[in-house]
Amino acid sequence: MKIALSRKMDFGKAPPVSPERKRELLYFQKNAGIKFHSLELLNLAFTHRSFFNESRHEVDNNERLEFLGDSVLGFMVSEWLFLNLPARHEGDFSKIRSYVVNEDSLAEIALSLHVDRFLIIGKGEEMNGGRTKKTILADCMEAIFAAYYLDAGLKPVQELILRHLVPAIMVVLDDRHKKDYKTLLQEIIQKRYHKYPVYELLRTSGPEHDRTFWVQVNVVGNIFGPASGANKKEAEQNAACAAYEALTGHHNKDTE
């Protein structure tokens, strides 16, 4: 299945593709092993909203593509799991997919393809280290998947996605992946006490562009933490790690 770009469908207005930018996009394609018919569509996938907000020209950003890419990615991984793991159940599929289709794994793929070099971001975001932010990299990767689906069709984007995601799936199946401590903690608390852990953000410190978050977790009246992180999610994971290790009496070496 392929959507014909000759229909002049409105995917959004990308920043102009200069001769220099064209060379950059061609280099990205060669490195990624893909080929776009529309360099404008690929350029749009690299355009972050911070550039859109600062631009004096009428341009769009990659958020609509990101929305579509999330669905395309989820479908491709779900189909692969369904077809290749007949002995597994729906619950297993959901856990495996959550480990491989997340911000960390997508940002890692983006860095392996040097997406950070080709991002189009605003000056403020550039100064705040936007090119290395996991959220921006992961969102851009989803936008690229969507753009490639629209440009080349289902089969080429399937090959691109599975080329990068199947190795991550195999790591999970071999139990060599980084475990989600929040999920692990919730599972044992529900099993033992039929309750849920409660996380509390205690404080933040540092400048706006380099915050540190401090979180503690309440497990049936027992407080663990505070633990710190570069964002709230990371701090919660670290607090959950402390609680999990204390309650189980062992260290999960898969996080190393």
Q: Kindly calculate the radius of gyration of the chain based on its CA atoms and give it in whole angstroms.
A: 21
Tell me whether residue 217 is exposed, middle or buried, using C-beta atoms within 10 angstroms of its C-beta: 0 to 12, 13 to 18, 19 or more. Answer: buried
For the annotated binding site for Mg(2+), the residues are 66, 139, 142
Beta-strand relationship, 212-219 and 198-205: antiparallel
Q: What single-letter amino acid sits at 236?
A: E
φ and ψ at 19, to 5 degrees?
-55, -40
Tell me whether residue 103 is exposed, middle or buried, using C-beta atoms within 10 angstroms of its C-beta: 0 to 12, 13 to 18, 19 or more. Answer: middle
Active site residue 58: no
Handedness of CA 100, 30, 150, 83 (dihedral sign): negative
Express each pLDDT in 4-33 by its tens digit: 444 446 788 888 999 999 999 999 999 999
Distance CA 127, CA 139 (A): 19
Higher pLDDT, 94 or 64: 64
pLDDT of residue 53: 77
Higher pLDDT, 172 or 138: 138
Distance CA 111, CA 164 (A): 12
List C-alpha distances in Å: 226 to 63, 215, 250: 35, 5, 19
Express each pLDDT in 44-88 by its tens digit: 999 999 987 777 778 899 999 999 999 999 999 999 999 999 998
Q: Tell me: pLDDT of 175 over 80.
A: no
pLDDT of residue 58: 81
CATH number for 219: 3.30.160.20
Whether residues 163 and 226 share a domain: the answer is: no
CATH number for 13: 1.10.1520.10
Active site residue 142: yes
Whether residues 108 and 195 share a domain: the answer is: no
Residues in the chain, overall count: 256
Whether residues 186 and 164 share a domain: the answer is: no
Q: Tell me: pLDDT of 179 over 90.
A: no
Whether residues 103 and 80 share a domain: the answer is: yes
Whether residues 79 and 167 share a domain: the answer is: yes
Distance CA 169, CA 209 (A): 33
φ and ψ at 2, to 5 degrees?
-145, 135
Name 224's bridge partners.
217
Whether residues 89 and 116 share a domain: the answer is: yes
Cis bond before residue 197 (omega within 30° of 0): no
Q: What single-letter amino acid sits at 95?
A: K
Whether residues 66 and 92 share a domain: the answer is: yes
Domain C-terminal end among 103, 138, 173: 173
Report the Cα–Cα distance between both ends of the chain, in Å, rounded: 42
Handedness of CA 146, 151, 154, 155 (dihedral sign): negative
* Structural domains counted in the chain: 2
Helix (H, G, I), strand (E, B) or coil at 223: strand
Domain C-terminal end among 148, 173, 198: 173
Helix (H, G, I), strand (E, B) or coil at 142: helix
Domain with 90, as residue range(s), is: 5-173
Express each pLDDT in 152-171 by its tens digit: 999 999 999 999 999 999 98
Whether residues 136 and 235 share a domain: the answer is: no
Active-site annotation holder among 60, 70, 125, 236: 70
Domain C-terminal end among 150, 173, 196: 173
Determine the average pLDDT of the residues in 132-141.
Answer: 94
Name 215's bridge partners.
201, 227
Whether residues 110 and 222 share a domain: the answer is: no
Whether residues 18 and 71 share a domain: the answer is: yes
| Contact in structure between 168 and 100 (CB atoms under 8 Å) | yes
Whether residues 149 and 38 share a domain: the answer is: yes
Whether residues 161 and 186 share a domain: the answer is: no
